[in-house]
Amino acid sequence: MDEFSLQDRVVVITGGAGRLGTRFAQAVLRHGGRVCLLDPGFTNSERVSDRELRLSVDITDPGQVKEAAEEIRRNMAPVFGLINNACLQPEGFFRPMEQYSLETWRKVMAVNLDGLFLCSQVFGGDMAKRGEGSVVNISSIYGMNGPDFSLYEDLSFNTPPSYAASKAAVLGLTRYLAAYWGSCGVRVNAITPGGVQDGQLEIFVNRYSKRTPLGRMAEKHEMDGAAIFLLSDASSYVTGHNLAVDGGWSAW
């Protein structure tokens, strides 16, 4: 038996059109699974193959999440896994604390936290009824640790309060749901990615790398193993855990 196999298991991935979402989808497919990607970034909903469904869905809208669940039931099979991966950086995202607008704060919370809550409720709730499943929530190092602001000195971006607060809440909800659904056979875990290299300014990459025990930022594919581990039977006795894939960022 290959304990990392996801053979024919349906995995829903929110933010499935984004940088890590597309990687997670490829990884699930490589391990034999089927994917359903939810993202308003898809202009149309389409069935790419019998193993991949792309739905243009806004996860902050409860009606759209429920409709997506119906569509998946009709077109695929019961959902086994959920990767809550979507995030949003709306207008005003990088403003300093003193000027941060409540509107921007709420938009971030709506996707990073409310959307995760709604998808967990709908898909996780179905898993609990069926007595099996795995939910993987994507947090961030800034949900675990306060930012080192010297990394962002003289740069036009930073880590804003809405991001840190939403990602810390993701870890709290992960532990809550692990306890809540443990007796129903549904496991709930988190992945805490470190910064992923993606064309950032060299000065930032250098500062970040110095601050990290492994001396570099992550490559996109380096989150895949953690996701497959947590979705598959390889982690059958793991729940309520936060797996930091951060090059050691949180170790010192």
Query: Catalytic residues, which ones?
Result: 163
CB 211 within 8 A of CB 217: no
In a 13 Å sphere around the CA of 69, the CA atoms on its Cβ side amount to 21
Nearest-5° Cα angle at 96, 215 to 143? 50
Piece of 90-98, 125-133, 189-197, 228-236 that binds ligand NAD (CB under 6 A): 189-197
Which residues, in sequence order, are bridge partners of residue 169? none
Phi and psi at 12, nearest 5°, equal -90, 135
CB 104 within 8 A of CB 163: no
Could you say whether residue 138 binds ligand NAD (CB under 6 A)? yes
Piece of 11-19, 67-75, 175-183, 203-211 that binds ligand NAD (CB under 6 A): 11-19
CB 97 within 8 A of CB 161: yes
Smallest distance from the beta carbon of 207 to ligand NAD, in angstroms?
A: 14
CB 54 within 8 A of CB 37: yes
Dihedral angle sign, alpha carbons of residues 217, 158, 104, 41: negative
Q: Which lies closer to ligand NAD via its Cβ, residue 5 or residue 22?
A: 22
Residue from 28, 35, 39, 136 in contact with ligand NAD (CB under 6 A): 39
Residue from 195, 212, 230, 245 in contact with ligand NAD (CB under 6 A): 195
Shortest Cβ contact with ligand NAD: which residue? 18
Position of tokens 């992550």? 218
| Nearest CA-CA partner of 131 in 188, 181, 72, 74 | 181
Residue from 58, 71, 132, 233 in contact with ligand NAD (CB under 6 A): 58
Residues 79-98 that bind ligand NAD (CB under 6 A): 85-88
Smallest distance from the beta carbon of 88 to ligand NAD, in angstroms?
A: 4
Smallest distance from the beta carbon of 42 to ligand NAD, in angstroms?
A: 9
Residue from 13, 25, 55, 59 in contact with ligand NAD (CB under 6 A): 59
The residue ranges that bind ligand NAD (CB under 6 A) are 14-15, 17-21, 38-41, 58-60, 85-88, 111, 115, 138, 140, 193, 195-196
